[in-house]
Structure 1
Amino acid sequence: METQGAFSTEEVRIPPQGGELVIQDVRAGTHDGFDRVVFEFSGSGKPGFIAGYSPEPRQQASGNEVEVPGQAYLELMIQGTPMGQMSEREDLVGIGPVRVSPDGGLVGAGNVAGVVHGGVFEADTQYFIGVDSARPFNVYALENPTRVVVDFQR
């Protein structure tokens, strides 16, 4: 398995193209040279996203503090996910930790300590990915099915 593009610690911004997307799954895995978190969607359009490290995880709109495992926190805003288009899976739409391990646990994979859902506001879904340190990352979208992929350099 390969990653796409270059790793960096700089903020990434990609605008959405349409977007009526519904979260279907979140998963994490460890690969040769990188750890990966995947957000899979159904629906139409291409997601936009903003990704960058946050020194203090705070929920969008409310500003409430968000508890995230790990020592560094990558904030990922996935755009094109309207509130009216919610998943039927309760574990994917509630505020808080997302179950990403194969056994349904809360842990991530490799250097990924966990993923926390911050909520949806104005069609932007907020996630925090906790890692052991501010590692270089790469974020990109894939199709068939629609996915936003975050790779962390090991």
Structure 2
Amino acid sequence: MAVGSVLAAGCSGDSSGPATAPTVTPTSETPLDEDGPVEDEPVFGEGDQSTSGPGDEVGLSPTGMRFGVHEDFDRLVIDFEGEGEPTWTAEYTDTPTEVGSGDTFDVTGESVLEVTITGAALPTEEEAVDWSGAAGIIPQSSGVIEQATRGALFEGNQQLFIGVSSAEDFRVFALEDPTRLVVDVFHP
């Protein structure tokens, strides 16, 4: 069992300058046994973008994220409430920037993988569910992920920033029952 830290408070881009990481609270981590068609999923590298197909625009609510270390990769899983399939874009960015405010976002790591979940339910929408998980995770024992943090939810786009020790290959795919989005970042 790995031991890590979870960011307990939310991040906001309301202040000038880079947004800062909230206070860290210790927590335990367990490997994630998310079954799925992993072998069939495409792998992307630095300079590539992973994009899902068109979604149902049903307004799934991202509610939290979990982290696990596997033999060949680190895995981040984003949990959802609601009906439908999540849609996303994912790519490495030189400057993590929050949508809406335009503020840069401080993320631990040499490179940052930005994942944007599109078509997310807004808190004011009927049947929307609030994010109830930690605002971020700082693993103390991982292969490559140094920090994963929730960015802005703006006009139906939920940002996540994943700080990594180096820009390694990654894959992103959705799973059902329950609905979740999986981000694997391969070890060097």
Match of 2:83 in 1: 44
In structure 2, distance between residues paired with 1:8 and 1:48: 17
SS of the equivalent of 2:100 reads coil
How big is each residue's C-alpha offset from its partner over 1:67-88, in whole Å with a ceiling of 9 and x where there is no partner? 1111110000001212222426
Structure number with higher strand proportion: 1
Structure 2 counterpart of 1:107, one-letter code: P
In structure 1, distance between residues paired with 2:101 and 2:131: 24
Match of 1:107 in 2: 139
Give 1:72-151 correspondences, 5 Å limit.
72-84=111-123, 85-87=128-130, 89=132, 91-92=134-135, 98=136, 100=137, 106-107=138-139, 109-151=142-184
Structure 2 counterpart of 1:146, one-letter code: T
Task: For residue 110 of structure 1, report the CA deviation from its aligned partner.
Answer: 2.5
Aligned partners of 2:65 and 2:133 also within 8 Å: no
SS of the equivalent of 1:44 reads coil
Structure 2 counterpart of 1:11, one-letter code: Q
Task: For residue 56 of structure 1, report the CA deviation from its aligned partner.
Answer: 0.8
Q: How many residues align?
A: 143
Instruction: Identify which of 65, 69, 74 aligns with 1:30.
Output: 69
In structure 2, distance between residues paired with 1:83 and 1:18: 12
SS of the equivalent of 1:67 reads coil
Q: Identical aligned pairs, as a percentage? A: 32
Match of 1:8 in 2: 44
Structure 1 residue runs of 5 or longer lacking an equivalent are: 93-97, 101-105
In structure 2, distance between residues paired with 1:50 and 1:87: 22
RMSD over equivalenced CA pairs, Å: 1.9
- In the superposition, the TM-score normalised over structure 2's length comes to 0.70
In structure 2, distance between residues paired with 1:107 and 1:140: 22
Task: For residue 42 of structure 1, report the CA deviation from its aligned partner.
Answer: 1.0
Match of 2:103 in 1: 64
In structure 2, distance between residues paired with 1:112 and 1:87: 25
- In the superposition, the TM-score normalised over structure 1's length comes to 0.84
Structure 2 residue runs of 5 or longer lacking an equivalent are: 1-32
Aligned partners of 2:173 and 2:181 also within 8 Å: yes
